Structure 1
Amino acid sequence: MKLYRQNIAVVIFSITLLTIVVGVFLTSTDWNEGRALQWISALSGWVAGIFAAITAGVLISQMKTMRKQLANQEAQTNFVTGNLPPEFYPYTPENEFALEFRLENNSIRSVREGAIEVLRPSQIQPQLFDHGREIDYADTYNDATMFICDLPGWYNRNAASPYTIISLCFVDQAGETFRGSVELRIRLKMSGDDDFSFERVIEVDLDKWLP
């Protein structure tokens, strides 16, 4: 309704402006039939162009509105069917060396395995410091922190989504704690999958998180 009113206002404004232009011309210019035909012809071209632009604007606005509505419907459908992806993000400092990350499972399928690795800088390695009870096994090797877990799916949508915590510290090749910015990639294997089916890359400024 709001968009419709805006479009009507644009049309009325355009017609009013054209009327004023024509009125000014008629009162300030010698009028004859030949010139009248020329101006009518030119004016009709301008009117067609203006209304074409208005129509294009209306169609573009309607398409944007439809895409937004479809995206909202898809999000609602994914929420109801449990087709939302897990979330992985920094949560709170464990101490002055380690940062606690939170893994939330928004999917209806459970999380079975995971791998966390540093993409940038390449010389930095993640070191496992602690983890939640949902994780059965975790270790760091081949420049990645690997874990096996039993994080259940989010079946009860009236309750908070299941989660677990993974605390990591980051060290350089000299074994010193790194406090700069790191780009992390987490991959997850969900129940029913033969390989990692979820992947997310996040950037974390450790200096802003660690005390």
Structure 2
Amino acid sequence: MTVVVVTDSSARLDPEELKRWDIRVVPLHVLQDGIDYQDGIDPIPQDIQDRSHVSTSGAAPADLTDVYKQALADSGGDGVVAVHLSAGLSSTFSAAAAVGRELGSSVRVVNSRSAAMGVGFVAVAAARAAAAGADLDAVEAQARSESGRQHGFIVVHRLDNLRRSGRIGTAASWLGTALSLKPLLQ
């Protein structure tokens, strides 16, 4: 068999790319007025960013466990390398690391230190190594090496979302909004 690569829905990989490299995906969650949408599974309204009371949630430990166990079985014992959204941006990585520890040394969890396609690039690099016949240690090393090469930037258009998530305080949100600031984050 071969090492199986798992990522989360933040990677934004095309379904054909997922199939080509046999990458498994754990959904993240978008929460709006009590409705829990599983990213990549449930249809999410196009205008959701304009709605009130929208937040996100990392991958659920139960979802991580289910996907990792299936990937382990499909690997024939060769192992799983899981590449997830930056630990600095989401609780997904810490939940994934905890699940990985529970399942043993055949599951390696890598912090992509990135978001969106940065996560996807790391996952694809790992999957290419796995497809080429690399063992678990080599696939993990490839993922870690690629994660060190990723650099991404985002522009924050609405500071109220950062305030609600606790990433900035009320005063910073108010002042930034009053001055029409659009922070560029790396």
TM-score tier (shorter)? under 0.3
Q: TM-score scaled by structure 1?
A: 0.21
Name the structure, 1 or 2, with higher relative contact order (CA <8 Å, separation 6+).
2
Q: TM-score scaled by structure 2?
A: 0.23
